[in-house]
Amino acid sequence: MVEYSFPGKVVLVTGSSRGMGATILEGFARAGATCVVNYFADDAGQNLRDAGLTAERCRAFGVTVHVLDADVSNYEAVETLMKRVVELAGGLDILVNNAGILRDRSIRKMTPSDWHAVLQTNLDGVFFCSKLAAEILRDNGRIVNIASIAGIVGFHGQANYAAAKAGVIALTKVMSKEVARRGITVNAVAPGVIRTPMLDGLKAEVLAEYEKQIPVGRVGRPEEVAHVVLFLACEESGYITGQTLPITGGWF
C-alpha cells in the first residue's frame, strides 16, 4: 500500500460500518487521521456491532475514532451528525460520501418506492452531507464521492442507481466550482465491480460473466478504491477538482 500521511486531519466516511467505507476509513487510520465511523442503526443492532469492529480496526493504528449513527437520507440526522463531529473532533477536513444501496429491477418492475429509496440514500444523502459538511469543513478540505461506473454506462435493471450516481457525478462538478476559492476540492470515483457485501446478492454466474468482460480479468478490491480516495484527499492533490475517476480494471 502507498504510504499516505494525514496526521491532524479529521475524516468522516459515511456508511463505514462495513464494505468499501470501512476499508477507506481504515486507510485513513493507517495514515494517522482522526476517524469518524458513520453507521445507520438497525433494530437488531448489527450495524452498530459492525461499526464497532471498524472502529476497533482503526484504533489499532493508534488514532482517535468516533462512532456516530446517522441515516444520510434524513436531513435532520445529517445536521446532528455534523454537529457531533464538531463537538467530538473539533472540525472536519475530509468527507467521503460512501453510503449507498441497491434496489435493482427493470423499469417495468421498479416501484416508486424502489426508485425513491435509492435516490434518497445515494443522491439526496450526498447532497445533504456535502452541503452540511461544507459549513464545517476547514479550508483546503476534501470531499470525495463514491459514484459508480453505473452512472456513466447505465446497466440493465439499475435505472434508480444509475440516475443517482449520474447525479452524484454532476453534483461533484457543480460543488467543486462553488467551494474552490476555499481550497476545498470535490472529486468522485466511479468504481466498477468491487468485492464487498454489496455483491452478496449477485449470482456466481453473473459475477463470472463480469470477470470475463473486465480486461484485467477480475473484480476489484476495496483497498484499490481506498488508495484512489486517499490520493484525491491528500494535500498534494489540491489542483484536481470536479473530476470523476473510473476504477474498473479497464472495463468501459
Residue ranges binding ligand NAP (CB under 6 A): 14-15, 17-21, 38-40, 47, 71-73, 98-101, 121, 125, 146, 148, 191, 193-194, 196-199
The answer for residues whose C-beta is within 8 angstroms of residue 42's C-beta and 6 or more apart is none
Least spacing, CB of residue 216 vs ligand NAP, in Å: 15
1 or 155: CB nearest ligand NAP: 155
Active site residues per annotation: 161
Three-state DSSP class for residue 184:
coil
Closest CA to 195 of 55, 25, 3, 23: 23
CA distances from 249 to 44, 104, 196, 207 (A): 37, 23, 16, 14
What is the spatial order of strands in the sheet that 185-191 belongs to? 65-69, 34-39, 10-13, 92-97, 137-146, 185-191, 244-247
Count of C-beta atoms within a 10 Å radius of residue 57 = 18
Of 14 and 187, nearer to ligand NAP (C-beta) is 14
Residue closer to ligand NAP, measured from CB, 138 or 210:
210
The β-bridge partners of 142 are 94, 185
CB of 210 to ligand NAP, least distance (A): 9
Min dist CB 183 to ligand NAP, Å, is 26
**Min dist. Cβ of residue 196 to ligand NAP (A):** 3
Q: Point out which residues pair with 246 in neighbouring strands.
A: 190
